Amino acid sequence: MKKIIIPIFTLMLGGCISKTSEVPQLNINYPAAYVVNGESSTISIINLNINEVADLIQLTDDMSGMAHGANAMFLQYPHHIYLNPSKSQIAIAAPGADLSQGHGTTASHSGGAKVAVLNASSGINVKLIDVPMMNHNAIYTTDGKEIWTSQMDEAGKILVYDATTYTLKNTISVGKEPAEITFSNDGTTAFVANGMDNTVTAINPNTKTILATIPVGMNPVGAWTGSDNRMYVDNEEGQTVSIIDVKTLKVVETIALGFMPGFVAYQGGMKEMWVTDPMAGKVHWWTKDATGKMVYTGAFATAAGSHAIAFKDMMAYVTNQEAANVSVIDVMQHKVTKTIAVGKKPNGIVIR
């Protein structure tokens, strides 16, 4: 196991670090899963060769080039994580509020939010962008030229930043309380889940024009990308999944769950839709039949607060927010093969 590099520091009131710790930069040169720990304000780096945590990044607002400056502050409740296409950088939203219990009351929070851009190999901050309102995620366009982040208030907006200069290029008006921004598998369309409007906005990423406003279930959180040219929308209050066809921009199927979903992922090899069940600590899965419809197939336990899913070949990784760990799952057997302890309230995960 590679030695975990953790800064030694002493906390002062207000969360300041009172002592500078000159910690060497990391060298993440192995296949890795990056797990965002919302309450710990860290990223656990899992070495996928051995499925163990090998490195740790403490998320702060320090831009000195050192591991931590004398007056660095922790980023507050970092949420979700995305790689750029070259896999050299990662982008994280820091909304400043705990989103682990759902998204029904998020619009009351404003101010103090950031987008953090880090070097994916060293873990060092590249850029911190202050944004006016609470954001849900920060994601690169499929060409890597822009970073998009949501503004989760009633006057819903998407902020578009240049990924080289980090200057604001565009502001796109969408529905009320936009949460996750995602892109279709072919990169032709951006999708924004508007929680208060019960809609998903489809956007042309090149022209920044609205292509469609698609009605879905109650309180959609994300339109998650499928390799089958579909988007899978988890509707928290509606307890449903709306499946959107990318070509027609219409809902082609609505699946009643009977529980509040945490995340939806499509496994192309098995033609399965996986949905996390945070309250029960499970993953449920559906299999696509010959007509393209989803048929409920089964469920298996992970741990409390099951949330995000990432696939790597025929393995899956599920973050469990309340259990502070990640479940490693054999996709074909639908069975947990290992549990990896990480930080407090892990939410987003991305694999490099």
The percent of residues above 90 in pLDDT, for the chain, comes to 84
Which residue intervals of 192-312 are DSSP H helices? none
27-351 CATH pick, 3.30.1330.200, 3.10.450.50, 2.130.10.10, 2.60.120.10: 2.130.10.10
* DSSP states of 142-178: TTSSEEEEEE-SSS-EEEEEETTT--EEEEEE-SSSE
- Overall average pLDDT of the 225-253 stretch: 98
Q: Among all chains, which residue has been given the structure tokens 């696509």?
A: 288
Q: Say yes or no to pLDDT of 312 above 50.
A: yes
Rounded Cα gap, residues 99 and 309, in angstroms: 17
CB 172, CB 208: distance < 8 Å:
yes
CB 236, CB 218: distance < 8 Å:
yes
Q: Say yes or no to pLDDT of 148 above 60.
A: yes
- Residue-wise pLDDT tens digits, 68-106: 555 678 999 999 999 999 999 999 999 988 887 765 544
The confidence score (pLDDT) of residue 98 equals 87
Query: Cβ of 168: how many Cβ atoms within 10 Å?
Result: 12
- Residue-wise pLDDT tens digits, 211-223: 999 999 999 999 9
Lowest mean pLDDT: which of 50-59, 93-102, 277-286? 93-102
CB 229, CB 249: distance < 8 Å:
no
CB 256, CB 296: distance < 8 Å:
no
